[in-house]
Structure 1
Amino acid sequence: MADDPLDLFDSWLAEAQTSEPNDPEAMALATSTPDGRPSVRMVLLKGHGPEGFVWYTNLDSRKGGELQANERAALLFHWKSLRRQVRIEGPVERVEDSLADAYFATRARDSQLGAWASDQSRPLDSRTTFEQRFAEVQQRFEGGTVPRPPRWSGFRCVPEQIEFWQDRQFRLHDRRLFTRTEDGWSEGLLYP
């Protein structure tokens, strides 16, 4: 049994990377508006460690706006093949520009261009409009490096709580809850 939730997360993620058929890094990201209206969507984990769990998005998207207005989030990893899930809750902060630039440079060129062409989460009159915008961006950056758009960056959830859920027969599940303290992490169990 791991005493450090980040070590345990690393172990579970490594197992998921060998057993999950698609996107073991996929996580549900829950945000809310300042008045408490929740929303959730799937995003991909792009980095994690003691400082937190990182993903990237358009800052003007719904999730980007909600995260900037209410700087708290919840994450959920569900690995069906392992019958496990991990819940993470905590405050959210923007990643450093240098980190966002470095990650953006690793994306496929069409993904980079798509970040420029898309007004993520905004109404779109037709697919043709988006395809035309994509073609314009392709032409704009033809033959050159595609820089990170100013409205595109990443967020980091700094975990205050991490819960590890393991399926057990007859719904007698195992639930371990780690809570951040001034001295590190405290651990407790939750009823199934």
Structure 2
Amino acid sequence: MDAASRPPSLAGLRRTYQGEPLLEADLAAEPVAQFATWFSDALDSGLPEPNAMVLATASAGGRPSARTVLLKGYSTQGFVFYTNYESRKGRDLAENARACLLFPWHPIRRQVRVEGPVVRLSRDETAAYFHSRPYGSRIGAWASRQSAVVGSREDLDARYEELAERWPDDPPVPDFWGGFRVVPQEVEFWQGQTDRMHDRLRYRRSGGGWVLERLAP
């Protein structure tokens, strides 16, 4: 095997995690309250985009797909993001309304994973958020048929300019765009530890409450 085709060594990427132990007694009674605490820590740590999360979906046939989106709100009802309904993730969720979210807060040696069914937000909720966005982002939502093939960057820019001329002040909410809420059924909190003996604590919905379980790393 010549040098050009030899895979690079990843040995230099090894790292040792070390942090305070994550104990059952230290966690909140329910996962969203615990998420709020950790999200506040992520904000305070100076992470550039603590609300960035990996969204994993699958088609009806089981073909998986993942991408990074932004968390736009959370409550005991669930975790909210917005997208084009006709995008790949929108189509996946129309066929298979379940998803997994991952918050990869590596600099502070933490991850949060959320799994559950997904529901669309009401049009009123979507409209309230859409009109809070910067003007350019609202025009962009109209201009981009997300995940569709485009002929060129010039075509995309021309479409944007055409729509900006049509709506110079306040574009309406696109009927193909809106919010989704991931309703948590499982929420796992991961804290990196030495020797790969990481702490993994999972909340699992059971009846009307939550069961807290420790998972092997």
Q: Same fold (TM over 0.5)?
A: yes
Letter in 2 for 1:102: A
The 3-state SS of whatever aligns with 1:42 is strand
- Aligned pair 1:31/2:57, yes or no? yes
Runs of 4+ in 1 over 6 A off after TM superposition: none
Aligned to 1:166: 191
Aligned to 1:115: 141
Paired with 1:105 and 1:88, the residues of 2 have a C-alpha distance of 28
Note the alpha carbon deviations across 1:1-58, whole angstroms, 9 max, x for none: 1221111100000111122432100000000010100000000000111111110000
Aligned to 2:96: 70
The 3-state SS of whatever aligns with 1:74 is strand
Paired with 1:5 and 1:37, the residues of 2 have a C-alpha distance of 29
- The answer to whether the 8 Å contact 1:20/1:81 transfers is no
Aligned to 2:174: 149
The 3-state SS of whatever aligns with 1:9 is helix
The equivalences for 1:34-183 within 5 A come to 34-142=60-168, 144-183=169-208
Paired with 1:23 and 1:99, the residues of 2 have a C-alpha distance of 23
The 3-state SS of whatever aligns with 1:35 is coil
Paired with 2:46 and 2:145, the residues of 1 have a C-alpha distance of 31
Letter in 2 for 1:158: V
Q: Any gaps of 5 or more consecutive residues in structure 2?
A: 1-25
The 3-state SS of whatever aligns with 2:83 is strand
- Aligned pair 1:4/2:4, yes or no? no
- Aligned pair 1:189/2:202, yes or no? no
Larger Rg: 2
Paired with 2:106 and 2:131, the residues of 1 have a C-alpha distance of 32
The alignment-based identity, stated in percent, is 46
Note the alpha carbon deviations across 1:62-108, whole angstroms, 9 max, x for none: 10010111000000001112110001100000011111001111111
Paired with 1:159 and 1:46, the residues of 2 have a C-alpha distance of 16
Letter in 1 for 2:138: Q
Cα drift, residue 183 of structure 1: 2.6
Paired with 1:109 and 1:183, the residues of 2 have a C-alpha distance of 42
Across the aligned residues of Structure 1 and Structure 2, the Cα RMSD in angstroms comes to 0.8
- The answer to whether the 8 Å contact 1:20/1:79 transfers is no
Paired with 2:42 and 2:172, the residues of 1 have a C-alpha distance of 33
- The answer to whether the 8 Å contact 1:20/1:80 transfers is no
The 3-state SS of whatever aligns with 2:40 is helix
Paired with 1:163 and 1:102, the residues of 2 have a C-alpha distance of 31
Q: Any gaps of 5 or more consecutive residues in structure 1?
A: none
The 3-state SS of whatever aligns with 1:53 is strand
